[in-house]
Structure 1
Amino acid sequence: MQHTRIYSEGKFAPLVLPTLREHGLLIALVGIYAAIALGLSEIYAPKLDTQVGLTLFWKFLGQVPGMIYLVLMWRFLHMRYVVRPAGQMAWFKADIRQAISDPQRIVTAGIGLTLAIAIMASFAQLKKIIPILNPFSWDPSLADLDRFLHFGMDPGVALHAVFGHPWVVTLFTGAYNYWMFLLYFSLIFTCFSLAKPRERIRYFIAFMFCWGFGGNLVATLFSSVGPVYYERFGFGDDFVPLMQLLAEHARTQPISVLESQDALWWYYSGPVGLNGISAFPSMHVASTVLMTLYAYQYSRLLGRIMTGFSVVIMIGSVLLAWHYAVDGYAGAAIAIASWWAAGALMRRFPRWVPQEQR
């Protein structure tokens, strides 16, 4: 459906129904996901977990200045090296003014933000009840599978033999921490973008599948805590050497991941009783691979950069003891399957997705 952009004030109403129709499939899927989350939470955790929501919200707010800077820098470079207008400041101001006052963008962003919040809130609420539905027990099996696939070696210790210099471990920690910024940025970009509407909806649907199917259903079926908490949950001392390596690195170079791991354990075992622990599959890897597939829809160069970042996250997830290697393999497979399933559903229900590029 071809839309005519309207820039004058008071012209939002004609845009709402067509935009809702383009989001129809996504709205239906998110509605089902939210209903499942609310239903299971009512049974197993009647008190709505507002603290998790507030934590995610404050983390998001902390990322907003960096997102604004990134967008402004991108538009500046686009102006400087692509458009090259005679009056650069006038063009730049007009470009920003048009972007933030476009009614179509405002309506699209409002719907997108509502759906994004519903997806992440549903995921967080279902993640909390993973150990209630299925107590953590799969770690010994996943650790054994890891060694079987890697010729009897512990992948974490093997990776430290290659990337074990303290400076390198710190770089992997920085990249791992940067993941959350990219995740939030991809969501905000998807909410506000008017370019490539079909790819935008496909990413949204795949995002929901990735977190709902992978981060909730599969994570519950294969409930596990990862190498970092292996000993604390009484599974044995198999990963004590890996944790000792990280502790040794922390004595010479900053490795903030250890603080995050301790904080996550405190939330789980302390008086707050929040569950943020879940190892299989790796949602860091899954979401990064999904962002990579989305990036390829815009630029081959951007896709290749994100491919490299996905490899770094895959290695970092094992190097930093968050995950078994099989967690990352499963996460990548779930992301690819989610992207494929989103495309298949869009072809099955063409009436409720965008049909033409604006």
Structure 2
Amino acid sequence: MHERLTTDCGKVDDPRGSVLDVERAGAVWKDALRGLVAVFALQDVLMVGYLAATTVVLLCAEPSEVRSQCVHRNLAYIAALVAGCVFARRATFVAPVIRRTVYRLLLVGVFLLNYLALRHVLPVVRSDALDMELLRLDLLLFGVEPAIWLDRFNTRPIVEWFSFFYFSYFFICFFSMVLALWVTRPGRAVTQYALGTALVYCVGQLGYMAVPAYGPIVALRSAYPGPVDGGFFWNTVMSIVQSGGAMKDVFPSLHTAAPLWFALYAFSRARTDRRLLWLAVVTAFFSFNIIISTMLLRWHYAVDVVAGVALAFGAAWAAPRLAAWEERFRARMDQPQPWIFR
């Protein structure tokens, strides 16, 4: 067989040269992929992807000064995350303790700032509200609106009890972050926590944009015989919501999804470390009370809670599988695990 073949155009092709070209192209792509893996972990990709998707949604909205500010803010968050990842994983001339501290603070900071900005983002993305649609869905599924049915328990002691637990959401988020990112030894457990938390908040906040609503406390105000009969803790909750809440952050209920995810994560960790069982039980107890509080305090419809529960269990199912996959993938790319800074 001839080693050189003549084409119809009279040119000579070398099959061995074509194979070498393909191999070289494959090597280039593999080197590029290895370079990206050396800088970005999967939780970074989720965060940047969420911010990019939010930016695209904003760009599709009606032009305004607020929209421009939101877009610029998102781009600044993306730039900060990318720069932080490059610094943390590639600036090897800086001590590892400094790089990992900066990286953790940056992730948490972007999470928090992004949430605080939602009160400006959500009205730009969607100016309408779907409260009546959520109400009709509740009536279809439950026969009543649970947030209204629970008004029979609108007494000071009960309201204060559930207001305390609703308020405790912020402390649960804080302590779970401290324990997982700052106390737990770097490894798959930390990756699992980061991925699950990123999934809960990124998917949940995209849900706010897809299904904007104010909640029963605003939309069904006239259906209640009177205001919430609360005291110190209720007033504290109201003050926090009015000063920093996203206002149209109803579907799904992240007050349901996040604490439940933290409880499921703690139970998962307790399988291999029995010392964490008490923490899982306490978190589950708080989570249960927070879920009830979301409806009794008129913040959420029942379908919001159902969606929050589904989101938490979805994250609990996906996070360990994604963490295991990333661990294997980074090993194939000859890269350290995402929370190891050399």
Structure 2 residues without counterparts, runs of 5 or longer = 1-36, 62-66, 74-94, 271-275, 331-335
Question: Where does residue 328 of structure 1 map in the other structure?
Answer: 305
Cα contact 1:281–1:327 (8 A) shared by 2: yes
Instruction: Identify the range of structure 1 (31-40 vs 333-342) with the bigger mean alpha-carbon deviation.
Output: 31-40
Q: Secondary structure at the match of 1:159?
A: helix
Structure 1 residues without counterparts, runs of 5 or longer = 1-19, 52-102, 268-273
Instruction: Identify the range of structure 1 (314-323 vs 26-35) with the bigger mean alpha-carbon deviation.
Output: 26-35
1:242-285 Cα deviation digits (max 9, x unpaired): xx151xx24xxx15435654775588xxxxxx843321111111
In 2: Cα distance, 1:181 partner to 1:355 partner = 26
Question: Where does residue 111 of structure 2 map in the other structure?
Answer: 119
Matched, 1:130 2:122: yes
Matched, 1:228 2:249: no
Matched, 1:210 2:200: yes
Indicate the percent of aligned positions where both proteins have the same amino acid: 23
Shift of 1:338: 2.1
Structure 1 pair 301/275, CA: closer, same or farther in 2 (3 Å)? closer
Question: Where does residue 347 of structure 1 map in the other structure?
Answer: 324
Matched, 1:309 2:286: yes
Residues 233-252 of structure 1: matches in 2 within 5 Å? 237=222, 239-241=223-225, 244=226, 246=228, 249-250=229-230
Q: Secondary structure at the match of 2:69?
A: coil
Question: Where does residue 156 of structure 1 map in the other structure?
Answer: 147
**What is the TM-score when the length of structure 2 is the normalising length?**
0.67
Shift of 1:105: 5.8
Number of residue equivalences: 266
Cα contact 1:285–1:328 (8 A) shared by 2: yes
- 1:279 alignment partner, one of 239, 250, 264: 250
**What is the TM-score when the length of structure 1 is the normalising length?**
0.64
Cα contact 1:282–1:323 (8 A) shared by 2: yes
Q: Secondary structure at the match of 1:349?
A: helix
Report the AA paired with residue 316 of structure 1: S
Cα contact 2:253–2:305 (8 A) shared by 1: yes
1:217-242 Cα deviation digits (max 9, x unpaired): 2121111110011057xxxx3x333x
Residues 98-117 of structure 1: matches in 2 within 5 Å? 107-117=99-109
Query: Which structure is larger by alpha-carbon Rg, 1 or 2?
Result: 2
Report the AA paired with residue 33 of structure 1: Y
Cα contact 1:203–1:339 (8 A) shared by 2: no
CA RMSD of the aligned region, Å? 3.3
Matched, 1:166 2:156: yes
Structure 1 pair 262/184, CA: closer, same or farther in 2 (3 Å)? closer
In 2: Cα distance, 1:154 partner to 1:326 partner = 10
In 1: Cα distance, 2:38 partner to 2:175 partner = 25
Shift of 1:341: 2.4
Shift of 1:118: 2.3
In 1: Cα distance, 2:180 partner to 2:97 partner = 11
